[in-house]
């Protein structure tokens, strides 16, 4: 089973750290999958995904370092069990946009796994002996 959902965020002319972990968790909860893999993808370049235990206010000084990154992480896969991400509780996932133009950015969350088996009631039409 594959469950897919698109999201859009608006960036500014500064370096943006946009928390998207809540969108990821929401998509996992909305999907029929209990255990599996969730992949976040950025279709367009100029941004990266960043997994950290830093809070948004702690990232302000960290922003300039992102301008020097040579490699963008445009796709990240994270496992989940019982509809919960397998992460430390304080870890956050950020979409980081270091471009100097504000724009509308898209990211896609894909949930992959098997649906739990449906419980079946007693067989209809059969007689008990």
Which comes out higher in pLDDT, residue 7 or 14?
Answer: 7
pLDDT digit string (tens) for 36-72?
999 999 999 888 899 988 877 777 666 666 665 557 8
Q: Cα separations (Å) of 98 from 48, 64, 72, 74, 101?
A: 9, 9, 11, 13, 9
Domain ranges (residues) in the chain: 2-114
- The architecture CATH gives domain 2-114: Sandwich (2.60)
59 alpha-carbon distance from chain centroid: 19
Percent of the chain with pLDDT over 70: 84
pTM of the model: 0.82
- pLDDT class for 109, splitting at 50, 70, 90? very high
- pLDDT class for 124, splitting at 50, 70, 90? low
> In residues, how long is the chain?
129
């Amino acid at each position: 089973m594959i469950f897919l959902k698109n999201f859009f965020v608006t960036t500014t002319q500064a370096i943006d750290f946009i928390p998207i972990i809540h969108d990821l968790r929401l998509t996992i909860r909305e999907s029929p999958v209990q255990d599996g893999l969730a992949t976040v993808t950025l279709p367009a370049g100029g941004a990266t995904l960043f997994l950290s235990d830093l809070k948004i206010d702690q990232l302000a000084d960290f922003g300039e370092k992102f301008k020097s990154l040579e490699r963008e992480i445009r796709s990240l896969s994270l496992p989940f069990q019982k509809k919960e991400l397998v992460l430390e509780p304080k870890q956050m996932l950020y979409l980081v946009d270091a471009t100097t133009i504000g724009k509308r950015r898209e990211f896609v969350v894909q949930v992959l796994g098997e649906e739990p088996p449906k419980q079946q009631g007693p067989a209809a039409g059969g007689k008990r002996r």
